[in-house]
Amino acid sequence: MMEKRIQRIAVLTSGGDSPGMNAAVRAVVRTACANGVEVLGINRGYSGLINNDFRKLEARSVDGLLQCGGTVLYTARCAEMLTKEGQQRAADNCKYLGIDGLICIGGDGTFRGALALARLGVPCIGIPATIDNDIACTEYTIGFDTATNTAVQCVDMLRDTMRSHERISVVEVMGRHAGHLALNVGCAVGAAAILVPEHEAHFQEDVIEKIREGRINRRHHHIIIVAEGYSMSTQEVADRVEAETGMDTRVTILGHIQRGGSPTARDRIIATRMGDCAVTALLQGKEKCIVAMQKGIVLDLDIEQALEMKKSLDEALYQVEQTMSS
């Protein structure tokens, strides 16, 4: 593919914030500047694009972002971007500002917005950043490792109290439609049971009996990990467990603490690689792609094909965890 002359690009972060977004922004800016390309940072995602809320970014202005959580460009949900009028206004603003390409950092909703703009003539490259790790075209999304480690640290501290009081703790982690985070956290903390949207548990066998067996083996505290998108609410799970085991059972919802904190080394490195890849794709004249990691290699894929893919749970890990919790 012949290279296209790019003079100015823009970058935005959209949807839920994710540790490592800032590292990706930094990589985009540094790679662009190294190639003589100007960069505009769009504040507050697509809302900022529609309302012309932007700032100029330079190589030195992104110093110190590598280790910072959250997103310095801010993020927001934008209902207007779901409309044809909003999409056209965003595309018109890109042309008015002389933006030759837009890099959109976020999840599925962010990419669908990027696809809409690409169809209106704005070259767009997506970078996957979501703690749920639920983007089908990539084996890894920025922020997943940090969120997993944050949740594991919280559960490890919670276990001290559970052990002291001989309680059961039912811990809810994020994952509205996907159980990747819950599965990895549950495996890392040695949970008695992991409840995820992809598998409807046989409650008596997969939860209650495992706790009873643990008590027979003189284990007097238990951790159950529940993805927020599981068919039963976390409180319903706890109520049923307490009713059937007679053990004091408490609910802990980790909530948005999982989104925060300084990104891990893995998230910083992958964000850097993905940011560089996104700019390179624009410089090569590509107009509608998502950056992805496949078998450890960072590459770009056609956005329409990528959005049609489906991602399943790591069944091998799920089966290993079922064995470990027996």
> Do 163 and 250 contact (CB within 8 A), yes or no?
no
Q: How far apart are CA 9 and CA 40, in angstroms?
A: 6
On the 0-12 / 13-18 / 19+ scale of CB atoms within 10 A, 265 is exposed
Measured on CA atoms in the order 234, 239, 245, 249, is the torsion positive or negative?
positive
Sequence length of the chain is 326
Confirm whether 248 is a catalytic residue: no
Q: How far apart are CA 180 and CA 132, in angstroms?
A: 6
Catalytic residue, candidates 17, 100, 108, 132: 132
Residues contacting 147, CB < 8 A, separation 6+: 18, 19, 131, 174, 181, 258, 259
Q: How far apart are CA 173 and CA 229, in angstroms?
A: 9
Amino acid letter at 213? E
SS3 content of the chain, % helix, strand, coil (to 5): 45, 20, 35
Measured on CA atoms in the order 305, 306, 308, 312, is the torsion positive or negative?
positive
Q: Which residues are catalytic?
A: 132
